[in-house]
Structure 1
Amino acid sequence: MPETVQKKDSPLSKTTKNVVFLMLSGGKDSGVAARLLKDEGKEVIGFFIKGWAPTGLKCLEPPEMRDAAEIARVVGIEFFPILNWSEHFYNAVFDPMLSGYLSGITPNPDTLCNREIKFGLFAKFAFGRGADYIASGHYVRKNDNPLQLLVARDERKDQSYFLYDLKTDILERSLFPIGNYVKSEEVIPMARSFGLPQRVIEKRPTRDICFLLKSEEDATDGGRIGMEKLLRLEGEKRGIKFSSGPVIHEKTGKVVGEHNGVSLFAVTIGQRHGLGLAGGKLLYVSRKDILKNAFYVNSEKPSSPEVVVKNLNWISGAPDFGKKLSAKIRTPQKAQSCRVEKIGEDEIRVKFDTPQNSVAPGQACVLYDGEVVLGGGIIVS
């Protein structure tokens, strides 16, 4: 495990109880979390985890790191950037994500990042240095007795979908200070009252892959490295040659366009934007055929009444499969009523009361019992 942390001195030895290592992203959510924890009397130390950038792109120092340092100064906590985890980011998150895309599925790198980095490597780093807890600005809640992960009070901002893969021993020592607050009505006003920088308060939320740095050529429009660019760069690094191929209408069998080779792997089931098709008709990606170097489209959204899920993780023990539950296959989405049957040691079938649109193999299927997050796994079909 990486051992070095960039710092002026080393005050990380545990001196009091309730030492909290906080993942400080540079946004208002983790900033408010820092202040709430400090107000509870905890000894809070903020850490910004530097992301990863692919070979061949010159990347800027993330402005988020500067914002995180400023938040720490305003709140009055110690702050350290962690700058040397790029190799682990690549091996644990990006490499399996890329392999998934190149096999034709749509992986979820954010769940991988949470499991492997934020609540994996960072947790090990923190607990090995005397922290009692780790904390983040995620919108989820936790119940201690019995131990349960719960959906956020703010349903629109709930991030439980991305945390279904948490392990029990990590959840026991994790804190989510803003999970009981509504962002628009409470968190943002608190950010103002706490004196967080205005640029942080006004910063728009990002839906980008959590571990990627901003490239110089993308910096002008505030964008990050696009998926097609990533796949092309890393595919070429692996000796993969991308070639253009047909886009075929599912019902008529007619060729309605051509993809550029990389987009075959980058598009996801149900996608309707950015397909580069002429004619003005609204078409959705219905399936991909990697062997034929083609993807198919349809005028109707693809839907399925059930999914098969593997690589299961149960946060607080396996659920009662005879009970009516609910599930999410993406976020944002309201949990959908379903029944679950076990079909293997590490495999379940989730049957929805209402067929679900745009089911993408590789994405997570997360199960809920009311507001309790039971766990979930990866959709395989």
Structure 2
Amino acid sequence: MKMKVVVAMSGGVDSSVAAALLREQGYEVIGVTMRLQPSDCSEGCYSRDVAADAKKIAQKLDIPHQVFDFTDVFARDVITDFCREYSLGRTPNPCIRCNHYIKFGALLKQAQELGVNMVATGHYARIEKENGSGRYLLKKGADHLKDQSYMLCMLTQEQLGHSLFTVGDLTKEEVRHTAERLGLPISDKAESHEICFIPNNDYPKFLVEYTGITALPGPIIDRRGNVIGEHRGIASYTIGQRKGLGIASREPLYVTAIDPEKNTITVGGKSEVYATELIASDLNWISIERLDSPINVKARIRYRHREAAATVTPAGTGEAMVEFREPQMAITPGQAVVFYDGDIVLGGGLIARTGREVLS
């Protein structure tokens, strides 16, 4: 009997090639498009075009295609959290939560209810099972330029054990060539780099419309507390931001701190954006069961950030201190910090505090 697998299909080249390769490998493939927003939405993760494109690919591959409605759980676990984090002065990464709660959470659960125990996506990452420990290892994709292991840092052992990353051993160029070889009509389809549920990538407008809460202007201050400008609402700013401050200065100014309680934005020179320490919370260890003593790692503080040498030390229940050998620019609360040993993802967590806040 063929092993069944649900493939999350967006109509894009990566998920389409993943489905095609699994079918070639002998799996019984079921294509699924996830409805994450109202069906009348014209943009984003779910739209009529996305579903139609995925269905067209499924027909080309001669596999069944279904639409699973995760509108409510997506709103609860991803969008609501996104809005809450911005209200607290943090900058979240909703794609990481979507992977944990939706693609490898709700989708896997519904697949299992249908008797299917595996979920596949078009992520550029790899999974291996370690012989000695029996743990599932998450590794970078073979194409390091497209690697998405950072976005998968919160996946659990249970989730990894039921997941397939079919294109993880391929480069993007090889994926496009495979699409051409198979005659899939998406080999030159453009990629999206914006957050799927935010039209035109306009965060402030989305937050106001979704929450109904009007942005509250407030003071922009320097590190001494002097008021030097006015901000448009803290959700319009992130740590390290330089553009859009509306302040005349002899040197470029950057956002160095956001205080939601005082409704202030602090700015300073470029040197003030750098820090060497952070506290990570909500830790998820993958290659190890837990962290009992300090370890040396390469750490990444943003998706496209270059990894940097650091030491990670346990710092109380569910937290760890991360100390970088060299100062890092714009360590941003709310973003994920992911720890690597070569290609292996050791684990990750959320940046809770940084710089001077670590010592307070």
Residue 191 (1) aligns with residue 179 (2) = yes
- What residue is the counterpart of 1:246 in the other structure? 219
The 2-side partners of 1:204 and 1:281 are apart by 38
- What residue is the counterpart of 2:95 in the other structure? 110
Q: Counterparts of 1:198-277 in structure 2 under 5 Å?
A: 200-210=186-196, 212=197, 223=200, 226-236=202-212, 240-250=213-223, 253=226, 255=228, 257-261=229-233, 264-277=234-247
- What residue is the counterpart of 2:315 in the other structure? 343
- How far the C-alpha of 1:105 sits from its partner, in A, is 1.1
- What residue is the counterpart of 2:50 in the other structure? 64
- How far the C-alpha of 1:29 sits from its partner, in A, is 0.6
Q: What is the count of residue pairs matched by the alignment?
A: 343
The 2-side partners of 1:112 and 1:33 are apart by 22
TM-score w.r.t. structure 1 length? 0.84
- 2:235 maps to amino acid: F
The 2-side partners of 1:311 and 1:373 are apart by 16
- 2:35 maps to amino acid: K
Any idea what the Cα deviations from partners look like across 1:240-298, whole Å, max 9, x if unmatched?
3433223334479351x43222xx12321012234455679643211112233221223
The 1-side partners of 2:181 and 2:246 are apart by 46
Residue 19 (1) aligns with residue 39 (2) = no
Residue 176 (1) aligns with residue 165 (2) = yes
Q: Counterparts of 1:313-332 in structure 2 under 5 Å?
A: 313-316=284-287, 317-319=289-291, 321-332=293-304
- How far the C-alpha of 1:119 sits from its partner, in A, is 0.6
- How far the C-alpha of 1:232 sits from its partner, in A, is 0.7
- How far the C-alpha of 1:162 sits from its partner, in A, is 1.0
TM-score w.r.t. structure 2 length? 0.88
- 2:161 maps to amino acid: E
- What residue is the counterpart of 1:367 in the other structure? 339
Any idea what the Cα deviations from partners look like across 1:280-317, whole Å, max 9, x if unmatched?
96432111122332212233161111110111111242
- What residue is the counterpart of 2:348 in the other structure? 376
**CA 1:156–1:242 in structure 2 vs 1: closer, same or farther (change >3 Å)?**
same
- How far the C-alpha of 1:322 sits from its partner, in A, is 3.7
- What residue is the counterpart of 2:261 in the other structure? 291
SS in 2 for 1:46: strand
> Where does the alignment leave 5 or more consecutive residues of structure 2 unmatched?
354-360
Q: Counterparts of 1:89-100 in structure 2 under 5 Å?
A: 89-100=74-85
**CA 1:145–1:293 in structure 2 vs 1: closer, same or farther (change >3 Å)?**
closer
- 1:64 maps to amino acid: V
- How far the C-alpha of 1:33 sits from its partner, in A, is 0.7
- How far the C-alpha of 1:130 sits from its partner, in A, is 1.3
- What residue is the counterpart of 1:13 in the other structure? none
- 1:245 maps to amino acid: G
> Where does the alignment leave 5 or more consecutive residues of structure 1 unmatched?
1-15, 215-222
Residue 357 (1) aligns with residue 339 (2) = no
The 1-side partners of 2:52 and 2:198 are apart by 14
- 1:71 maps to amino acid: I
Q: Which of these residues, 26, 30, 36, is aligned with residue 45 of structure 1?
A: 30
- How far the C-alpha of 1:203 sits from its partner, in A, is 2.8
For structure 1, which segment, 134-143 or 309-318, has the greater mean C-alpha deviation from structure 2 after superposition? 309-318
SS in 1 for 2:128: strand
- What residue is the counterpart of 1:305 in the other structure? 276
The 2-side partners of 1:151 and 1:164 are apart by 11
**CA 1:276–1:119 in structure 2 vs 1: closer, same or farther (change >3 Å)?**
farther
The 1-side partners of 2:244 and 2:58 are apart by 39
- How far the C-alpha of 1:58 sits from its partner, in A, is 6.5
Residue 141 (1) aligns with residue 126 (2) = yes
| Contact 2:292-2:314 within 8 A present in 1 as well | no
